[in-house]
Structure 1
Amino acid sequence: MTATTTTTTRVIRDFDRPLWRRVLISREFAIIGLLALVIVVASATVRGFGQPITYNYLLLDVAPILLIALPMTLVMVTGEIDLSVGSMVGLASVVTGVLTQAGAPFEVAALAALLVGGIGGAFNGFLVTVVGLPSLAVTIGTLALFRGLAVGLLGTTAVTDFPELWTDLAKAKIAGTTIPYIVVPFLILVVVFAVLLHFTPFGRGIYAIGLSKDAARFSGVHVERTKFILFVLAGLVAAFAGIFYTLRFGSARGDNATGLELQVIAAVVLGGVSVFGGRGHLHGVVAAVLLIGVLSSALRLAGVTSDVINIITGGLLILSVVGASILSWAERMRARVGPSRVAASPAP
């Protein structure tokens, strides 16, 4: 008597469909369409939303989330997560402020903050890839560790004395436009990460790891090394976001960017990245960050309180996760029904 076992294998979605269907009939395109719809409706119904100054402040507000969401997308596609990025923003802010207050040139202080970000990311990567601990537990621990270091270094005080050249640059607009300068490094980074994820063997390895670590390893992908690099990148970009955060608000505090990691993860999941890994695209994540930012800005201008805004944003995130689960279930059911129909068809 032979025992039959059934295994479930996660696979990359079907690519024999035409390109236009893969692009237009996708969760990412739906997020982009929803973003356009919200902008049009808000511009028509919310007083002051369509003003150029509104878009300027909107981009300044979402810039740290946009920056951190780029490496976070790659981390989550592998099936891992980094909850420490918000605390790293605060720690980088404090390092920048403390060294500037001690008399170091701002450029040196910023480089030191980036170094701290890289070390923090490497520490996360070491614990996950070498020690073998789950990333959720590791980064919850380093979330508290980095925040504790930030508060311990500066206490309850704040550093507000920064060179005007840099603080003005952080809030300045590109000549002749209402677009802040922070968009320039973001565009550079989004191109780098998009090419890395979608057009290189390294990026294909990231997807392979998310689908199956063992299969990726047997295919020649350096699983541990890839994850380590991604955690280092997440730390570096979070530190850069911390420097911008400090200059934008002109203040270095130990509690800067508290809770920012939750906004980043919410945007990444809303943008179509699977919490189980193996799926996600950067254009969907960028659209999701902008969607949350536009929605929050429009609701604030309409007089809606922050609590209600959080409820609406949370509900949108839950609907996106539930919707993705329902679509996955429907695809599995269709895949099961297909072979059954073929088997039931009479022979010619």
Structure 2
Amino acid sequence: MTDDALRRTTLHDWHISASAKMVPFAGYDMPVQYKDGIIAEHHHTRNEAGLFDVSHMGQIILHGQEAWKRLAAHVPSDVMGLKPGRMRYTTLLNDWGGVIDDLMMVRPDAGNDLWVVVNASRKEVDLALLRKNMPGDKAEVPARDLIALQGPKAAKVLRQYCPQSAELSFMYATFTGIGNIPVMLMRSGYTGEDGFEISVETKRTLDLVALLSKSPEVKPVGLGARDTLRLEAGLCLYGHELNEKITPVEANLNWIISRQRLSEGEFSGASILEAEMLNMPERLRVGIAVDGRAPAREGAEIRNAEGRPIGIVTSGSFSPTLNKPIAMGYVEHGYSEPDTQLQLIVRGHPIPAHVAPLPFVAHRYARKMAA
């Protein structure tokens, strides 16, 4: 795709004015970094508050219970029982249990609308599936953007303009206002840090970003740091850890699977997932700590200690927080236990490594305290 054919988010000119380096991503012209660079942006998010434009992602509103049921037919999680004010991570599955997309489903209030936030590269596929055998207006694509504010200072910043934000815990959502800007606010994110994702009408996006940027704790962060942050947090990226040939069980996402729905078998691929959970899949997603300083990139071969190929790296980078290389990948299930010795083939040479627990950096979500 040429630069002229790339889509632009509402904030495109704002990114340019902030000295962003733009790159193609999922059909969009997106900021990979700003003037301070990826490592500085990464550390800023871990210590202050990073502002992310994630408007390339898709937002779909499902109107009414019949539309919800259409989604439920393809996900292993409980859709119909999602309580008002709650949100849930899940996966859209094909008939073989493979992941069509991973997504957030959000019920901001007690009404009959269910919001679904999907990956940019998959939103047309997802929308076609959800609209199949259903009136198109039951799955609406609203004119809205998505902005993320992530980091330990995010709550303090947002509280200045939205006191109600202090009442939200991790994986809760609500309709509210930031200043005089109406938003759908979610306490969630893709960095492992506390933070918020904010759905806003496109006509108010620039106002929202200008308001949040007034705080000295807030700096813009590009896709480069977003990727190193999510890798440290052990979070999957579609097209890397997830695709239509990988199941949630293989991806170590068993926690998203409703045991009741699995026993009922009323979603795509249910029998496949049930068999994998009973008998163990052939491969599993693992974290990998790499010895030395050379990072292993996507596609690097994983071997056991004796040199036999047993898997492949799906994501790899140098961790700014840990100051060492880390990776995720898939290995034969017999080699998935922590501290299992591995070899990674980097530039044709074997590099010592071992299986490491995920996440690499502890999550700092603002979870609701038990009563």
Task: Say whether the fold is shared (TM-score over 0.5).
Answer: no
Greater per-residue helix proportion: 1
Q: TM-score, normalised by structure 2?
A: 0.23
Greater per-residue strand proportion: 2
Tell me which structure has the larger Cα radius of gyration: 1
